[in-house]
Structures are given as C-alpha cells and as structure tokens.
C-alpha cells in the first residue's frame, strides 16, 4: 500500500528518469508531492461551445477530432500539427508547434477536451498550442476548471505532475494537522487535509483562496515561530562587548574619499551601540543595491578588530568573497590587521586565526569552530533562510559566548513590513543613496536599434567606461533562441567590438578563472564582461556604467533590478539597456513588465509590480518572495504577516519550548531540515 512515506518510485509510471527529475525538485516521497504547491492556475472555468468563442478569451471546449495531421514548415524549420475539432455547434482549427508526437496519441474520432487561448488566425478563430486531454471520464484534470501549474525541471511536464498528485491526493487525509486548534478556529483556517486537496484541485475560486490562506499563513507562522524561538533563546545568551573606538573610527571615516550618507552614519551608530552590549546583537541592515552597506560593515569590523576580537563576513558567491576581501584589505591596509579569505578554492590554514575572516557560506557548512568570534556578518541575506541564521548562532557560539549577528539585505521593504517579517531582528535601514547618484537611464532596445546601441556603448567605452552584458543561459541548447553566453561573447568579441577586450564569465568556470576575469575587469584590462546571472549579487565595479541584458524578458523584475544595481555606482551617468528576444518584443505583457524598469528605480516598487503583473491573466503568481521557504506567502501579505507574528509570539510566551505542542515541534524540525537544503 502506498502511504505518505512511500518513495515516489512506488507510484505508477515513475521510472528512474522521472524520479531523478522529481528529486531535483526536492520530491522524494508522497508527502513531498502533496506539499509541492502550484505556483499558478490556468483559468479554464469558461466552458464554451465553439460557436460562442471570442478572440482573446481563455476557454475550455469539448469536441471530436475530425482531422489531425503534421506539416513541416520549411521556412521556420518546425513542425506544425493541425487539427479540426467539432462540437454540435461548429468546427475550430487548432495548431500546435513542434509536437509531432501528438498525432501518435490523438486520432480522428477521439473525444477531447482542449484548453487555451482563442486567437485570430488569418481571419478566423483558432486555438494555438492548447492543452489537450482525451476524455475517459468526467474527471478532467488538465483542461477544465482551475488548472494547477507547477514549477518543472528538465522535460517533466505539467501533465505528469498533475497525474501523480491526482493519484495520491486522497492520502492528504493522513497528514496530521499540526496547527494548534485554537489558532485554526480563531483565524477560521481550513484543516490541513482539506487545504491540501483544494490547493491542488480547487473546484472554484473560494476553495482556492481558502487553501492558499491556510497554507500561506502556515509558512509565515512557522517562520515567525522559529524567529521568536531564536529571540527568546538569545535573551539568555551573552556576547563579547566591543568598545567603541571613537577616535579611530572618526579617523577612518575622514580618510575616505567621500562623505558617509546620513543613513550610513545612523546605521553604523546603531550597530556600534549594539556591539557595546553584553547581550548579542541581532540586527538586519537593509538598503537597496548601491546604498553602501559594505562601508557600514567595515566600521563594525574595524571596531571588533581594534578590540582584539575576531569577525567573519559571509557571502553567497566566491566572486563576491574575493571582491570584499580585496576591498576591505585595501581600506584597512593602514591598520595592520590580518584579513583572510576562506572559500572552497582558498583554504588558508592560518585563516581561522585572522582578525577578519571573509568567505562563502561553505564556512557554515563545514562546521568550523571559531574561537573568540565576536561578530558574524552575513551579506545578501535574502539567499539565506531563517534557519541558516540559527546555524550561524550555533557555530559561533560557545557555552559562554554568542557572536553579535548582523545580516545584510537588499530586499527593499518598508520598515513596518520589515519589522513584522523579521520578527526577531532589530532593523537599520539605509534609505538614502550616496550623493551625486543619478538615476540609471533604462531603455528597452528593439532589434532595429541594436546597432545604434552598440555605437553608443563603443563611444562610452572609448571615453573610459565599461559594460556588463548579461545573458540567460550557458549553452545554445534552448530552442527559444535565447542568447547563450558563449555565443554572445564570441559575437561581441569578434564581430561587434573586435578592437576591445571582452571577458566571459559563467558558473562553470573554475574559481581561479573567475577571479582572473573579475580582476581584469576591475583593472579595466577588459572593457566588457559577458556573464550569466552569476553576476547578480553584490559585485562592485564603479567604473562600469552600462548594463546590457539580453533576453531580458526571461528574468523577474527583482533580478533585473539587481543586475541594474551593478551600475550607477559612481557620480557618472549610467545606463541599462534591455534587449528582449525578437519574439517577445510584441508581447504586451513583456513590454509592460520591462517598462516598469524604465520608470522605477527602487526595488520595492518593482517587486510589487512584478507580483501584480505575474498574476495577470493567471490567477496567482509566485513572486520571488526573497524567502526560500515560502511557496505561497509573499512579502505583501501584510495582514497575514501581522497575524502570524501575533500568534507565534503568544504561543512562544506561553510555551517557550513547545512542550505542549509535540506535533508542531516535530513539524518545525522537519521544516528546518527542509530549509537547510535550499
């Protein structure tokens, strides 16, 4: 008998290949499948007769195949499958691209259900690439009603995932509901089993909303619970107090080539005051890209080192670790401190004894024990979940001492929201950019303007500037024609800018190669760097004033905003050029999304718009919530965040170790393990 703990391989039609793909999605057991939520739904509730169809609407029709055949389109080098579908009112033309195998499964005379968008095709109506399923029973799961869509990988299909979930959905009844009953009643939330059924296969909008409400609340609640537990734990811990070195700090600040912004001063002050205490600091430093968080951190590092204590700075990528290392080494050169770099490829055996240790989160994973650790800083913390924070507390702590903790994020959220979502952290916000920064001129560039854009870039480079070019994928394997980074590099290096030096950067290079490429770019030995999205986080090359993004529609607005944040880091005018793929430039949704970037410079507005636009025409979109552990909840669920915080804090006050809630405690442990794998 299949049960919740059964491995997915025991299910019908799951072989080695499929289970390997499912594993990539984190799906090992039946339980995992049930908790793999759709990220959106197609709305095929509108069941129509063919004669009633209108162009532009989403509809579901049921009919019989009267004709189905493959054609090869010579010009566009692709297969077309054309079919005619009839019901008792009319006949409709249907076209699929590059799915010649359809004619093997679907034959003339088959009764089918189709779902998709109705469009104009040479003067008559047609459905282009609809989802199709044969009708065996009334139980249509792909084409009728609200149809769940899941994140996929490899060549897994929506149909496969739906089929598997459908097969095990009845087992949802065996999931134990760990949410305390009084909370459930107070907030009128669904039972877990019901919520699970309805999130996958909602009958109507109210079922979908209620299940999302319950499951989204749960995500927020677990996060808050964990946060509150860390907070109450921290109250009993002791930290090493760091005496504020006022004269030294002032001297350092005065030695900088620029003045600190007011917001940088205020944040630094808050941090330095916290460090003086004997209870551990637990603080978040929030500031949009380019706001100058690193400098504030350096002030803290300097103070700790002057107290003869140790700090670590952790970052998500090797490139960034190297860059911080170079930058901090340079700025703190006059102070005779030992600063070490610790990443997968740099393992300085003496490194752990340095005053300041900079490295990737490999540091955390390898369970290194630091002695005399007074301060732990995590940069770009949106890449880390709440329980990584727990681990940082664990590794740096001894019986007597817990390090002060500072977390840096560019997830740009307003104070009230940040306070609610990071329930356990105190907050410093840098809400001011360094003086003289100009908005980054952002333009969508169509193909006919490409040459002109290149000419512009060439002129800027001749004047001494540099450019980033970002491409979405590594290999030209994608049929969509998205620029691959290698092909793009070859093109720019050989054809477009033969007189310039063009570097290439992607995730498959060895660390030493990446470093060489970055240091060449930093020193302006290369003028253009073509990169995959590895560049996204943190790197700082103030002389680079142009950001060119190929296949721009492929990225979420938040990512695009992060890319753009790589330029505009000096008082020079900077530019961001968005090149959408040819076939996307006429898609109004793409254009609307990218236009938001041309209008808004701040990350919060963009994150909001992204969420709104993704939900467009679909019933829900998942934002890049910035929190790996959320499938449903987003930053904008303010009401829910407040509720979750209130409930979690009441519960922890009355039952700090959750002794009266064993199911919940178990769930929290499971949730942590899961988050650790992210």
Q: Which residues bind ligand ADP (CB under 6 A)?
A: 258-261, 264, 287, 289-295, 434, 540, 542, 569
Q: Which residue is nearest to ligand ADP (CB)?
A: 292
Nearer to Mg ion, 199 or 408 (CB): 408
Question: In this complex, which beta carbon is closest to ligand ADP, that of residue 180 or of residue 290?
Answer: 290
Nearest distance in Å: CB 332, Mg ion = 17
569 touches which of Mg ion, ligand ADP, none (CB within 5 to 8 A by kind)? ligand ADP
In the bound state with ligand ADP, the residue whose beta carbon lies nearer, of 245 and 261, is 261
C-alpha distance from residue 56 to each of 38, 47, 550 (Å): 24, 15, 29
In the complex, minimum distance from the CB of residue 149 to ligand ADP, in angstroms, rounded to a whole number: 34
Tell me whether residue 380 or residue 610 sits nearer to ligand ADP (CB atom).
380
Alpha helices in 347-506 (DSSP H): 362-365, 386-396, 415-421, 450-462, 485-490
Q: CB under 5 to 8 A by kind: which of ligand ADP, Mg ion, none does 289 bind?
A: ligand ADP
Q: Which is nearer to ligand ADP, 53 or 358 (CB)?
A: 358
Query: Cα separation of 352 and 496, whole Å?
Result: 47
> Distance (Å, rounded) from C-alpha 363 to C-alpha 372?
16
Q: Which does 148 bind (CB under 5 to 8 A by kind): ligand ADP, Mg ion, none?
A: none
How many Cα neighbours within 13 Å face the side chain of 390? 18
**Buried-state track 74-87, b at ≥16 Cβ within 10 A, e below 16:** eeeeebbbebbbeb
Smallest distance from the beta carbon of 264 to ligand ADP, in angstroms?
Answer: 6
In this structure, the strands spanning 131-134 and 111-121 are antiparallel
Tokens of 447: 């193909």
- CB closer to ligand ADP out of 31 and 382: 382
Q: Which is nearer to ligand ADP, 286 or 647 (CB)?
A: 286
Residue 412 interacts with Mg ion (CB under 5 A): yes or no: no
CA–CA gap between residue 293 and residue 433 (Å, rounded): 10
Strands 131-134, 356-360: pairing is unpaired
Q: Is residue 441 within 8 Å of residue 508, measured between CB atoms?
A: no
Decide: is 538 part of the binding site for Mg ion (CB under 5 A). Answer: yes
From ligand ADP, Mg ion, none, interface partner of 22 (C-beta below 5 to 8 A by class)? none
- Residue 287: name its binding partner from ligand ADP, Mg ion, none (Cβ under 5 to 8 Å by kind): ligand ADP
Residue 165 or 312: the one with the smaller Cβ distance to Mg ion is: 312
- Tell me how far, at minimum, the Cβ of 631 lies from Mg ion, in Å: 28
Sign of CA dihedral 19, 20, 23, 28: positive
Minimal distance in Å, beta carbon 542 to ligand ADP?
Answer: 5
Report the residue number whose CB is nearest to Mg ion: 538
Q: Strands 282-287, 339-342: parallel, antiparallel or unpaired by DSSP? A: unpaired
> Under a CB-based contact definition with an 8 Å cutoff, are residues 574 and 546 in contact?
yes
Closest approach, Cβ 545 to ligand ADP, in A, equals 12
Q: C-beta of 624: minimal distance to ligand ADP in Å?
A: 18
Task: Give the list of residues 6+ apart from residue 232 with CB closer than 8 angstroms, or none.
Answer: 652, 656
- Taking the complex as a whole, the smallest distance from the CB of residue 377 to ligand ADP amounts, in Å, to 12
Which residues of the chain form contacts with Mg ion (CB under 5 A)?
A: 538
């Amino acid at each position: 008998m299949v049960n919740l703990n059964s491995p997915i391989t025991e299910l019908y039609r799951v072989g080695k290949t499929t289970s390997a793909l499912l594993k990539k999605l984190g799906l090992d057991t039946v339980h995992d499948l049930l908790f793999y939520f759709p990220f959106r739904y197609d709305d095929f509730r509108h069941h129509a007769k063919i004669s009633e169809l209108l162009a532009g609407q989403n509809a579901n029709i049921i009919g019989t195949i009267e004709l189905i055949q493959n054609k090869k389109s010579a010009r566009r080098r692709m297969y077309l499958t054309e079919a005619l579908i009839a019901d008792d009112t009319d006949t409709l033309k249907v076209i699929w691209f590059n799915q010649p195998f359809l004619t093997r499964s679907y034959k003339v005379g088959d009764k089918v259900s189709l779902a998709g968008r109705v469009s104009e095709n040479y003067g008559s109506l047609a459905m282009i690439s609809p989802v199709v399923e044969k009708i065996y029973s009334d139980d249509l799961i792909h084409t009728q009603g609200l149809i769940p869509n899941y994140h996929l990988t490899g060549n897994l299909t929506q149909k496969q995932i739906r089929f598997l979930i459908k097969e095990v959905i009845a087992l949802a009844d065996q999931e134990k509901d760990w949410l305390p009953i009084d909370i459930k009643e107070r907030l009128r939330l669904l039972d877990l089993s019901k919520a699970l059924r309805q999130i996958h296969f909602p009958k109507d909008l109210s079922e979908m909303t209620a299940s999302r409400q319950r499951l989204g609340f749960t995500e927020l609640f677990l996060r808050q619970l964990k946060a509150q537990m860390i907070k109450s734990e921290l109250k009993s811990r002791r930290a090493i107090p760091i005496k504020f070195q006022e004269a030294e700090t002032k001297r350092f600040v005065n030695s900088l080539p620029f003045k600190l912004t007011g917001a940088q001063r205020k944040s630094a002050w808050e941090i330095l005051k916290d460090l003086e205490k004997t209870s551990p600091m637990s603080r978040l430093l929030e500031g949009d890209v380019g706001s100058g968080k690193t400098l504030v951190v350096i002030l803290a590092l300097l103070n700790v080192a002057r107290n003869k204590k140790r700090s670590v700075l952790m970052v998500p990528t090797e490139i960034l670790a190297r860059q911080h290392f170079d930058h901090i080494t340079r700025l703190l050169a006059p102070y005779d401190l030992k600063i070490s770099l610790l990443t997968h490829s740099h393992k300085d055996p003496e490194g752990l004894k340095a005053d300041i240790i900079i490295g990737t989160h490999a540091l955390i994973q390898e369970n290194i024990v630091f002695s005399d650790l007074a301060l732990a800083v995590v940069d770009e913390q949106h890449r880390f979940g709440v329980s990584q924070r727990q681990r940082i507390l664990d590794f740096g702590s001894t019986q007597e001492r817990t390090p002060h903790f500072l977390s840096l994020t560019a997830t740009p959220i307003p104070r009230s929201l940040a306070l609610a979502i990071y329930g356990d952290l105190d907050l410093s916000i840098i809400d001011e950019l360094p003086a003289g920064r100009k908005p980054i001129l952002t333009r969508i560039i169509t193909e006919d303007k490409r040459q002109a854009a290149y000419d512009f870039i060439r002129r800027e480079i001749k004047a001494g500037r540099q450019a980033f070019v970002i491409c979405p994928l590594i290999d030209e394997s994608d049929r969509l024609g998205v620029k691959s980074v290698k092909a793009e590099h070859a093109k720019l290096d050989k054809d477009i800018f033969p007189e310039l030096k063009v570097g290439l950067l992607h995730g498959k290079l060895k660390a030493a190669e990446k470093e060489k490429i970055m240091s060449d770019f930093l020193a302006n030995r290369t003028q253009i760097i073509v990169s995959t999205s590895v560049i996204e986080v943190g790197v700082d090359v103030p002389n680079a004033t142009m950001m060119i993004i190929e296949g721009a529609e492929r990225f979420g607005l938040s990512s695009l905003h992060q890319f753009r944040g790589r330029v505009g880091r000096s008082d020079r005018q900077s530019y961001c050029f968005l090149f959408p793929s040819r076939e996307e430039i006429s898609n109004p949704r793409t254009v609307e999304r990218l236009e938001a970037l041309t209008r808004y410079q701040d990350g919060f507005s963009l994150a909001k718009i992204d969420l709104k636009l993704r939900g467009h025409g679909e019933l829900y979109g998942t934002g890049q919530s910035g929190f790996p552990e959320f499938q449903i909840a987003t930053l904008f669920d303010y009401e829910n965040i407040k509720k979750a915080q209130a409930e979690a804090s009441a519960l922890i006050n009355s039952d700090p170790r959750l002794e009266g809630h064993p199911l919940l405690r178990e769930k929290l442990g499971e949730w942590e393990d899961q988050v650790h794998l992210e």
